[in-house]
A = this chain, B = another copy of it.
Amino acid sequence: MSDSLRVALGSRSYPIHIVGALLDRAELFEPHVRARVAAVVTNETIAPLYAARLEASLRHAGAKTLRIVVPDGEAFKTLETLDRVFEALLQANADRRTVVVALGGGVIGDLAGFAAATYQRGVSYLQVPTTLLAQVDSSVGGKTAVNHALGKNMIGAFHQPLAVIADTDTLATLPERELGAGLAEVVKHGAILDSQFLDWIEANAERLRTRDPAALAHAIRRSCEIKARIVAEDERESGARALLNFGHTFGHAIESGAGYGSWLHGEAVAAGMALAARFSARQGRIDTNAAERLVGLLAKLRLPVERPPMPAERWLEFMARDKKNRDGRITLILLEALGRATIVDDTPVAEIEAFLAA
């Protein structure tokens, strides 16, 4: 099995490398950073674990390195933190040839990617994801963003990385909750597009939870294949890419409503998928047993499947600000079967409200 995939986007195509010990392989970084400034953007948790090793490889590859450390957590994925990244880049006189290197999980990838998209009107960047969620999902596809108090990921850009370098060894240090959060996005890929993969996840749930390396490697690779295919078809989410938002409409409302950081993104997506599956059943789109099978799988992976208490009007307030919405209608990703999702933009608000109030 090759350890590389490719996201096919014409002149913006790029490789995804997935295997162990990648942080030490200077030759993977060399074409991207040679004779440039490589600005490693990371957080206070990841920096002591991996920054020095990565920087050694970057320097070996011919880069001058600069380290920018921000606080850890979704609560810091803000314009304010972004401003600190810009300040550090400017203080170092980093020019347009600078390559930003996002070392961390989804928050770091989104924040550093958006910094790269907008610093001096755009510089290049590399994704070096260190969490399962980032390796199976957020590091691929070029979506970058920060949150706004009034809505998740509301400020951002589409900006593709030069490469994704996913070192699976970094998963060894991942906290349990973060592992689960990543598995939620793995389940999502199966649920929306690949029932066989969903069967495999079900059969291997215990191996995944106990970090069996072969099982994790397969889950990452298959997730990246599915995501790369959708992104190649629809880079800017004018159509099919919205399917990847399964569980996210409810999930973003959970994150925004609870305050960023109290739920991990993947946890909110898990509860959001449970809600979306049950709402799909309530709407008669999918068999109740199938919906409950998905909920059961999430529970088996020790993910939250019950929604937090929140008044229905507050749910709707956040859901009304979802980026998929058009002309005041809430767009939902619903299931027609396990492995087959669909985009629905004509659900009466009253039906969503009744479901959430039930």
Chain A residues near B (Cβ < 8 Å)? 35, 79, 82-83, 86-87, 90-91, 93, 95-97, 114, 117-122, 143-145, 148-151, 154-158, 236, 320-321, 323, 325-328
Instruction: Give chain B residues whose Cβ lies under 8 Å from the Cβ of A118.
Output: 114, 118, 155-157
Q: List 15 A-B contacts (CB under 8 A).
A: A83-B148, A87-B150, A90-B150, A91-B150, A93-B321, A93-B328, A95-B323, A95-B325, A96-B323, A118-B155, A120-B155, A120-B156, A120-B323, A121-B143, A122-B236
- Which residue on chain B has the smallest CB distance to residue A118? B155
- Contact B90–A154 (Cβ < 8 Å): yes
Instruction: Give chain B residues whose Cβ lies under 8 Å from the Cβ of A87.
Output: 148-150
- Of A114, A119, A158, A321, which is in contact with the most chain B CB atoms at under 10 Å from its CB? A321
Chain B: minimal CB distance from A161 (Å): 15
Chain B: minimal CB distance from A96 (Å): 6
Instruction: Give chain B residues whose Cβ lies under 8 Å from the Cβ of A96.
Output: 323, 325-326
- Which residue on chain B has the smallest CB distance to residue A320? B93
Which of B86, B95, B117 has a CB less than 8 Å from the CB of A148?
A: B86
- Which residue on chain B has the smallest CB distance to residue A325? B95
Q: How far is the CA of A326 from the CA of B120 in the complex (A)?
A: 12
Q: How far is the CA of A326 from the CA of B154 in the complex (A)?
A: 32
- Contact A90–B327 (Cβ < 8 Å): no
- Of A82, A95, A121, A144, which is in contact with the most chain B CB atoms at under 10 Å from its CB? A121
Q: How far is the CA of A149 from the CA of B87 in the complex (A)?
A: 8
- Contact A119–B86 (Cβ < 8 Å): no
Q: How far is the CA of A95 from the CA of B322 in the complex (A)?
A: 8
Instruction: Give chain B residues whose Cβ lies under 8 Å from the Cβ of A150.
Output: 86-87, 90-91
Instruction: Give chain B residues whose Cβ lies under 8 Å from the Cβ of A326.
Output: 95-97
Which of B97, B145, B328 has a CB less than 8 Å from the CB of A121?
A: B145
Q: How far is the CA of A223 from the CA of B96 in the complex (A)?
A: 28
- Contact B122–A158 (Cβ < 8 Å): yes
Chain B: minimal CB distance from A33 (Å): 14
- Which residue on chain B has the smallest CB distance to residue A156? B121
Extra contacts besides A90-B151, A121-B145 (18): CB < 8 Å: A35-B327, A79-B79, A86-B148, A87-B149, A87-B150, A90-B150, A91-B150, A93-B321, A95-B326, A95-B327, A96-B325, A117-B157, A118-B118, A118-B157, A120-B154, A121-B144, A121-B236, A122-B158
Q: How far is the CA of A87 from the CA of B149 in the complex (A)?
A: 8
- Contact B86–A121 (Cβ < 8 Å): no
Instruction: Give chain B residues whose Cβ lies under 8 Å from the Cβ of A97.
Output: 326-327
Per CB-CB distance, the 4 closest pairs between chain A and chain B, nearest first, are A90-B150, A121-B156, A120-B323, A95-B325
- Which residue on chain B has the smallest CB distance to residue A237? B121
Q: How far is the CA of A114 from the CA of B95 in the complex (A)?
A: 20
Instruction: Give chain B residues whose Cβ lies under 8 Å from the Cβ of A93.
Output: 320-321, 325, 328
Chain B: minimal CB distance from A238 (Å): 10
Q: How far is the CA of A236 from the CA of B117 in the complex (A)?
A: 13
Chain B: minimal CB distance from A285 (Å): 24
> With contacts A121-B143, A326-B97 known, is A157 near B155, CB below 8 A?
no
Q: How far is the CA of A259 from the CA of B145 in the complex (A)?
A: 30
Instruction: Give chain B residues whose Cβ lies under 8 Å from the Cβ of A144.
Output: 121
Instruction: Give chain B residues whose Cβ lies under 8 Å from the Cβ of A320.
Output: 93
- Which residue on chain B has the smallest CB distance to residue A323? B120
> With contacts A95-B325, A323-B121, A326-B97 known, is A86 near B154, CB below 8 A?
yes
